[in-house]
C-alpha cells in the first residue's frame, strides 16, 4: 500500500449514523480519524485513504463518490454488500472489504435454533401454555433429518458444521455444482433448486443477495419442496418470493418457515405472514449477539494494521460478484 511506502499515518474517514464504532481509540493510535455522518462525508473523504463504513447500509458513498478520489480502501461493517455496489466503485481500483465471518457462528446457532424450534413444536407449546392447556404431543427428531444449505460461504459452512454435529445430513447449493469438500459432501447448483429440494427436510437460505440469487426460492421451488419440509431464511429477504411463500404456507404445501429476514423489511403490520401459525418471524437479528459490535470493530482494526504495513487485507470482496470468493 502507498501509505506504508510513504511512512505516514493513513487518514481514515469513519461514517457513522448515531453510535460511534467500538475500538475507536485503537484506530486513532494507528491513523488520523475523521468522524462523519452522511451529510459531512464529502468533506471527510477529501484526501482520505480509507473509508470505514460503520453505518453499514448507507448510500452516502455512492452519493459522494466524486469526493473519494484519494480513497484506496473501503471497509463495511456488514457481510452482505450487494446493495452498496455501484458502477463507479466496481470499475475503480478501490479495494473493498466486508465483515464476512464475524457473525457466521451466531447466525448458524440461530439457524439451528430455528430447526429445534420447529422440530419440537415449541411455538405450539407456547400457545398451549398461554391457554393453560396440558396437551401431550409427539415431536420430530432432528437426528437423521436432512438440510439443504443454499449458500456455501462462511455462514453456510458454519451452519453445515453445526447441523452435522447434531446428527443431521447436510447438502449444499452454490453458484455451481461440484464435488463436495469437508463441509458439504455434495454441492448442487442453486440454479437447479427445483429439482433438488424435494429430498430435504429443511431448506436453509444463507446466500448473499446477487442478481443470480434474487428470488431463487420462487413458486416453482416451493411447489417442489416436500409438504413436510420447512424453509429457513437467515440470508436476505429478497432471496424468496414473499407472495409465493405466503401462499405456500397458507395452503400448507410446505410445513412451515422460520424467517429472520423478509422482503419487504420491516414486514408491514398487516402482512398475512404475521398471522400464520406455521411461521416464525424474527427482526433480522440472527447475528446480533451481545458482543457482536466489538467483534466487528476488531476486524477493522486488524485490517487497518495490515493496510499500514502493506499486507494483503482480509475479506476482499470481488466487486463484480458482490461477495468474498474465498472458502
Told to judge if 75 belongs to the known catalytic residues of this protein, a careful annotator would answer: no
327 belongs to a structural domain: no
Statement: residue 17 has pLDDT above 50? yes
Q: What integer pLDDT is reported at residue 6 of this predicted model?
A: 57
How many CB atoms sit inside 10 A of residue 312's CB? Answer: 10
Confidence of residue 174 (pLDDT cuts 50, 70, 90): very high
Give the HSE-up count for residue 196: Cα atoms under 13 Å, Cβ half-sphere: 23
What is the rounded distance in angstroms from the CA atom of residue 44 to the CA atom of residue 21?
16
Residue 55 domain-assigned (yes or no): yes
Q: Across the chain, which distance is largest between two alpha carbons, in Å?
A: 73
Indicate which residue of 105, 157, 236, 263 is catalytic: 236
Question: What pLDDT, on the 0 to 100 scale, is given for residue 46?
Answer: 97
- Taking 70 as the threshold, does the pLDDT of residue 295 lie above it? yes
- Percent of the chain with pLDDT strictly greater than 70: 97
Q: How many residues does the chain have?
A: 327
Does residue 312 surpass a pLDDT of 80?
yes
Give yes or no for residue 1 having a pLDDT over 50.
no
Same domain membership, residue 134 and residue 244? yes
CB 14 within 8 A of CB 27: yes
For residues 140-159, average pLDDT: 97
Mark whether 236 is an active-site residue: yes
Comparing 233 with 78, the larger pLDDT belongs to 233
Per the structure, the count of domains in the chain is 2
Q: How confident is the model at residue 5 (pLDDT cuts 50, 70, 90)?
A: very low
Reduced to 3 states, what is the DSSP secondary structure of residue 46?
Answer: coil
Is the pLDDT at 140 greater than 90? The verdict is yes
Distance CA(181)–CA(52), nearest Å, equals 34
108 and 98 co-located in one domain: no
**CA–CA–CA angle 98, 89, 151 (5° rounding):** 40
Structural domain boundaries, residue 228:
104-281
Q: Which long-range contacts (CB under 8 A, 24 or more apart) does 60-67 make?
A: 60/15, 61/15, 61/89, 62/86, 62/88, 62/89, 63/38, 65/89, 66/42, 67/41, 67/42, 67/43
Residue 2 pLDDT grade (very low, low, confident, very high; cuts 50, 70, 90): very low
The pLDDT of residue 178 is 85
Q: Which pLDDT belongs to residue 326?
A: 62
Q: What is the bridge-based pairing of β-strands 178-179 and 186-189?
A: antiparallel
265 is annotated as an active-site residue: yes
For the residues 4-27, what does the mean pLDDT come to?
89
Task: Classify residue 317: in a domain, yes or no.
Answer: no
**Do 52 and 186 belong to one domain?**
no
Both 159 and 268 in a single domain?
yes
In a domain, 95, yes or no: yes
CATH number at residue 54: 3.40.50.720
Candidate list 265, 271, 298, 306, residue with the active-site label: 265
Q: Which of 164, 271, 284, 298 is catalytic?
A: 284
Amino acid at each position: 500500500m502507498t501509505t506504508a511506502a510513504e511512512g505516514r499515518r493513513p487518514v481514515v474517514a469513519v461514517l457513522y449514523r448515531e453510535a460511534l464504532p467500538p475500538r475507536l481509540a485503537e484506530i486513532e493510535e494507528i491513523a488520523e480519524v475523521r468522524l462523519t455522518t452522511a451529510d459531512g462525508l464529502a468533506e471527510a473523504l477529501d484526501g482520505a485513504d480509507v473509508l470505514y463504513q460503520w453505518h453499514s447500509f448507507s448510500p452516502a458513498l455512492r452519493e459522494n463518490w466524486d469526493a473519494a478520489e484519494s480513497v484506496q480502501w473501503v471497509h463495511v461493517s456488514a457481510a452482505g454488500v450487494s446493495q452498496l455496489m455501484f458502477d463507479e466503485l466496481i470499475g475503480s481500483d478501490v479495494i473493498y472489504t466486508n465483515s464476512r465471518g464475524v457473525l457466521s457462528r451466531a447466525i448458524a446457532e440461530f439457524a439451528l435454533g430455528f430447526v429445534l424450534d420447529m422440530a419440537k413444536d415449541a411455538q405450539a407449546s407456547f400457545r398451549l401454555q398461554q391457554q393453560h392447556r396440558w396437551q401431550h404431543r409427539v415431536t420430530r427428531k432432528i437426528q437423521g433429518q436432512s438440510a439443504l444449505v443454499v449458500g456455501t460461504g462462511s455462514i453456510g459452512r458454519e451452519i453445515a458444521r453445526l447441523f452435522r454435529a447434531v446428527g443431521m445430513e447436510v447438502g449444499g447449493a452454490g453458484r455451481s455444482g461440484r464435488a463436495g469438500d469437508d463441509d458439504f459432501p455434495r454441492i448442487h447448483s442453486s440454479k437447479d433448486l427445483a429439482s433438488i429440494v424435494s429430498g430435504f427436510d429443511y431448506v436453509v437460505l444463507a446466500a448473499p443477495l446477487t442478481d443470480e440469487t434474487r428470488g431463487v426460492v420462487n413458486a416453482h421451488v416451493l411447489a417442489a419442496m416436500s409438504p413436510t419440509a420447512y424453509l429457513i431464511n437467515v440470508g436476505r429477504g429478497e432471496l424468496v418470493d414473499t407472495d409465493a411463500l405466503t401462499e405456500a404456507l397458507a395452503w400448507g404445501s410446505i410445513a412451515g418457515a422460520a424467517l429472520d429476514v423478509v422482503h419487504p423489511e420491516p414486514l408491514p403490520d398487516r402482512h398475512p405472514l404475521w398471522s400464520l401459525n406455521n411461521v416464525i418471524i424474527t427482526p433480522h437479528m440472527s447475528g446480533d449477539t451481545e458482543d457482536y459490535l466489538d467483534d466487528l470493530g476488531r476486524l477493522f482494526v486488524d485490517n487497518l494494521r495490515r493496510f499500514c504495513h502493506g499486507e494483503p487485507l482480509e475479506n476482499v470482496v470481488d466487486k463484480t460478484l458482490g461477495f468474498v470468493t474465498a472458502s
